Amino acid sequence: MPKVGIRDVAKLAGVSTGTVSRVLNDHPSVTTELRERVRGIIKELGYTPDPSARSMRSKVSRLIGIIIPDLTNPFFAELVQSTEQAAANHGYNIIVMTSFDQAAKEVNRIGQLTSRKVDGIILVPSNDFHTITPPKAVPIVVVDRLMPGYSGIAADHRNGARLGVEYLLKLGHRRIGFISGPTHSVPAKDRLRGYLDAMEHIESSQKIASAPLIAEAAFDYESGRSAGNYLLARARNERPTAIFTSSDQQAIGCMRAAHDLGIPIPAALSIVGFDGIPLSSMTTPRLTTVKQPIQKLAAAAVAALLNKQPARSTDSPVLFACELSEGETTSAPQPD
């Protein structure tokens, strides 16, 4: 069965290949009637244009690349999934790559994608990603972990964190602990700022515990657990009545730490997470968390690439608001 090409369609429809091509690309200058007829033939023959030939001539591959540090991280997994959806809505497909947080691998992958002539790259940079050779060949949009010099899209981590902390404040908490992410990471730093923003307002009016309220940790479960342990292992009137964490995994680890110390949640300790990964609604009790608008991020990233505003690199990044998802790990504080 010789595969059917555009010429077959043209011949059968009694038109030129150019016209068929114009029909395929929804070019306006084709009679509606003729357009319909050609469409009919196309369907009849089961013709599908060859993407290679297409891309070779038109320089459009309908392919976008996405590079993330680690697909095992639920947040990134969901980001990729949402991106695939968003891309599909535009007739695009995605090539997924993992950098394992290694700058070298990342640069290599960007090169691969570039030579594949993808129409754009969505990049979640590795943490040791030092601004690399400006890859002007293909538009890049940086997601989540913003970088100067690149157009970026991210959740508003700072205000998101503030949102979470203010929620705790409104419940009546004053000694609010914070488990930070690694501060060499931009989002972690922003969340810390948000925490400080919110706490600033009470700092003056009410004197707070002298013991530390902030602990830096990696984003993972185990780090959250030990940081939680660090913050909670003191006399009751010294320890925080609530802890705001920088990731859901930290929060879950922190819940474990509290549990091991015999501190009931939410009765004696409120916990708020960050991210809103699926797992967060599966804990017991369900985690109160600040949810990142992952789908919006993905949609915006794809849109940014497709409208490929040129030289948008110096623009300020686009931020999307987070929203609070109330679970069962928060309540008003008990009196000391």
Within 231-260, the residues that bind a second copy by CB under 8 A are 249, 253, 256, 260
For residues 44 to 73, the per-residue mask of contacts with DNA, x marking binding by CB under 7 A and - elsewhere, is: ---x-xx--xx-xxx---------------
Q: Is residue 94 within 8 Å of residue 151, measured between CB atoms? A: no
Whole-angstrom distance, CA of residue 196 vs CA of residue 201? 9
Whole-angstrom distance, CA of residue 167 vs CA of residue 124? 29
For residues 34 to 63, the per-residue mask of contacts with a second copy, x marking binding by CB under 8 A and - elsewhere, is: --------------xxxxxx-xx----x-x
Determine the interface stretch with a second copy among 13-21, 85-93, 170-178, 197-205 (rule: CB under 8 A).
85-93
Determine the interface stretch with a second copy among 139-147, 167-175, 219-227, 321-329 (rule: CB under 8 A).
219-227
If one counts every other C-beta atom within 10 angstroms of the C-beta of residue 301, the result is 31
Distances (CA, A) of 170 to 26, 195, 196, 286: 55, 14, 16, 20
Amino acid at 157: H
Whole-angstrom distance, CA of residue 176 vs CA of residue 208? 10
Whole-angstrom distance, CA of residue 240 vs CA of residue 245? 13
**Neighbouring residues of 295: CB distance < 8 A, sequence distance ≥ 6:** 82, 85, 86
Q: Among 45, 71, 171, 263, which residue sits at the site for a second copy (rule: CB under 8 A)? A: 71
For residues 95 to 124, the per-residue mask of contacts with a second copy, x marking binding by CB under 8 A and - elsewhere, is: xxxx-------------x--xxx-------
Least distance in angstroms from the C-beta of 256 to a second copy: 5
Determine the interface stretch with DNA among 23-31, 154-162, 170-178, 221-229 (rule: CB under 7 A).
23-31
Determine the interface stretch with a second copy among 29-37, 221-229, 237-245, 323-331 (rule: CB under 8 A).
221-229
Nearer to DNA, 33 or 336 (CB): 33
Nearer to DNA, 42 or 80 (CB): 42
- Residue identified by tokens 């931009």 is 186
Whole-angstrom distance, CA of residue 153 vs CA of residue 91? 22
If one counts every other C-beta atom within 10 angstroms of the C-beta of residue 212, the result is 12
* Residue 31 binds to DNA (criterion: CB under 7 A): yes
Q: Among 70, 101, 166, 216, which residue sits at the site for a second copy (rule: CB under 8 A)? A: 70
From the list a second copy, DNA, none, partner contacted by residue 30 (C-beta under 5 to 8 A by kind): DNA
Whole-angstrom distance, CA of residue 62 vs CA of residue 144? 23
- Cα radius of gyration (the chain): 26
* Residue 279 binds to a second copy (criterion: CB under 8 A): yes
Whole-angstrom distance, CA of residue 224 vs CA of residue 213? 14
Least distance in angstroms from the C-beta of 12 to a second copy: 20
* Residue 278 binds to a second copy (criterion: CB under 8 A): yes
Nearer to a second copy, 159 or 288 (CB): 288
From the list DNA, a second copy, none, partner contacted by residue 323 (C-beta under 5 to 8 A by kind): none
Instruction: State the first-to-last Cα distance of the chain, in angstroms, to the nearest integer.
Output: 81
Distances (CA, A) of 188 to 100, 264, 272, 303, 304: 19, 27, 15, 26, 24
Q: Is residue 68 within 8 Å of residue 106, measured between CB atoms? A: no
Residue ranges in contact with DNA by CB under 7 A: 3, 5-7, 14-22, 24-25, 28-31, 34, 47, 49-50, 53-54, 56-58
Residue ranges in contact with a second copy by CB under 8 A: 48-53, 55-56, 61, 63, 70-72, 74, 77-78, 80-81, 84-85, 88, 93-98, 112, 115-117, 220-222, 225, 249, 253, 256, 260, 278-279, 282, 284
